[in-house]
Amino acid sequence: MHWNKILSLLLSYVEGKIMVRYLLKFSYIGTQYRGLQKQISDSFIRDTDSIQGALETALLTVFPKSLIRPVLTLSSRTDAGVHALGNTAHVELENKSNTIYNSIIVKKFVNRYFSKCGHTIRLLDCTPVTNDFHSRYSCKSRTYLYRFMVPKIPEEQRISLPEAIHTYHLRSYNFDIDRARRGTQLFMGTKDFTTFSARAVTDRKIQYVRALQAFTLEEAQPLMPFDPLSKNFTYWHFTCKAKSFLYNQVRRMVGALITLGLGGITEKDITVMLQVPSHYNWNPRITPVPPNGLHLLNVEYDPDELRRCTILEQQEEKPQSEEQMRELQLEEQKQELQSSLKSCKTVITDPLGNKYEVEYGQVKKLEKSLPFVVDERPDLHIASIIPGLYLSSQDPVVCNDILKKFEIRHILSIGVNISEKYDDVQYHTCDLLDLPESNILPSIKKCIDIIHANLKENILIHCNAGVSRSPSIVIAYLMIAMKLSYDEAYNTVKRARSCIRPNDGFVKQLRSIENTTFVYEL
C-alpha cells in the first residue's frame, strides 16, 4: 500500500471517523439543464436545474447517509445544452458506520434517484481515492467532440429527432469539408486563444495560452441509421484534445472552421485572429456554433497515478455487519416504496418572498412572487373598529369619495406603497412582510404611536388585502390601549371585518404580548 493511503486512513482512524474522497465519472444529456456548474450558492436550495446540483442531491439518497453534505469539485465545466459521455468530479463523504462506500451501492442509489426524477444523468463509476488525487488538477487532458450534419440536397429541413438534440444542423449543402479539415492545422501547437474565448466576468487572471494536442475532422454515422430521414445528410465530427480549454473556445474554433468551409472567411482571417489575440479582434462574420452538438467525450488521467491513488477493495474497510446489511435492505425497500408513490408538490416561501417548489426532494425556484396575499377582487369595505380607528384593504385608499364619507384624515399603510394620494390626507407607512417568520413587535411599537397620535382625526389602517398584517396591528392596539386579551381583541376586529386571518406567526407573537409584560405607555 502506498504511504499516502496509509497516512490518510490512519489520520481518519485517530479522529474516529473516515472522510473519504471519491472520484465520480458520469454522463448526461445537457438539454434540460442550465449547465454543469451549480448556479445557487445557498446550501438550503438543491439546484437540480444544474447537473452538479442534481448529482449532489442524488448523493443525499445514498445509504448510510453521509454526515457531511456532498459538494462536488468538478474537473470540467460545460455550458447549458452541452452533453458529456464521461465527465468527472470528486466528492468527500463520511458515514456513521465508518465504512468506505461500495461503488455498486452508490451507483444503485444515485441512478435510481435520477431515473425516478426524470434526470438525463447517469453515474458511471465511483472510485475511492486518496486525498492527494484531485479531479481537476490531476487531469492530463480533456477530449471534446462536436457533431454536425450537412444536407445532401438543398434546403433539406427534415431531420431525425435524436439528431436535433445531439447534432448541429448545417443548412447549407455547399460545404467544403477538405478546406475545413485543413483549417484545423491552423490551431495546432501552443497559441494565444484570447480571440477564441468568450469574455468572462471575473477578477481572476486568465491564462489564454493553450496547446492543442489533437484537432481532427472525420466523417461519422447517423445516430438512427434505420430512420429514413437520416439518409438525407452526411455526418461529421470535430474532435479536439487539450489539457484545458477556455470558456467557449471549442465552439468558437468550430464556428470559425465551419465559416471557412462555407467560404465566409479565409485561412488568413483565422491566422490574424490567432496572431493578434484580442476579444475585440473576433471576426463578425463568424458565429459560434450552438451547444447541442458539443460533447465532452472523456477526462483523461495518468493511469499510473490513478492506480496509485485508488483505494483498492482489499484495502477498504471490513465487510458490513449483519445489522448494517439489514439497514441497507430496509433503506432500499423504503426508496422503492417511495418511488411507487404518487408525486406530491409543495411550495414554500422564504423571508424575501422567493418561492420554491419541492418534489421528490428536489427544490426548484419559481418566479419571484410578492411576499403577501394578492387579492385582485375589489374590496371597498371600510370597517369601523372603535371611534376614530378604521380598517380596510388597499382598495378604498385610492377612492376619495369613500375617504370623505368616513372623514379619513390619516392613512397608515402596512407594507404597501400607495400610487395615488390626496392633499387633504396625511400618509404614514410601516414595512412588514406577511410571513410567519416576520418580527411584528417593532412594527407594533411604531404603529401604536401613529394610531394614538391621530385617533381623533380618523385613521385608516390597511395592507394589501386587509386580512393579515393590518388586522394584526389593530388587534395589537386594542390589546395594549384597551387592555384586552388576544381573543377579545380578535373577536372585536372579526365582528367588524369578517375576512381577517392573521398568519400563524403573527398570532403567536400577539399572544406573547398577552402572556408577558409588554412595556408601552400611551
Q: Residue 88's closest CA among 22, 165, 8?
A: 22
> What would the grid cell of residue 213 be?
494536442
Q: Which amino acid is at 184?
A: T
Measured distance CA(68)–CA(60) in Å, rounded: 10
CA distance linking residue 204 with residue 462, whole number of Å? 50
Strand 121-129 versus strand 83-94 pairing type: unpaired
CA-nearest of 309, 317, 360, 333 to 108 is 333
- CA-based end-to-end distance of the chain: 79
Task: Check: CB of residue 238 under 8 Å from CB of residue 257.
Answer: yes
Between CA 430 and CA 447 the distance in angstroms is 7
Cell 491513488 belongs to residue? 309
Phi-psi sector, 502: left (phi>0), alpha (psi -120 to 50), beta: beta
CA distances from 313 to 18, 62, 128 (A): 16, 19, 9
Residue type, 415: G
**What CA–CA distance (Å, rounded) separates 146 from 217?**
9
Sequence-ordered list of residues with C-beta below 8 angstroms from that of 487, at least 6 positions apart, any chain: none
One-letter amino acid of 517: T
Whether 309 is catalytic is no
- CA R_g for the chain: 32
> What does residue 476 show for φ and ψ, rounded to 5 degrees?
-60, -40
Q: Do the beta carbons of residue 109 and residue 62 sit within 8 Å?
A: yes
CB contact at 8 A, 109 and 276: no
Note the residue count of the chain: 522
At residue 77's C-alpha, the angle toward residues 82 and 360, to 5°, is: 75
Report the C-alpha gap between 452 and 461 in whole angstroms: 12
Per annotation, catalytic residue among 309, 447, 463, 499: 463
Active site residues per annotation: 463
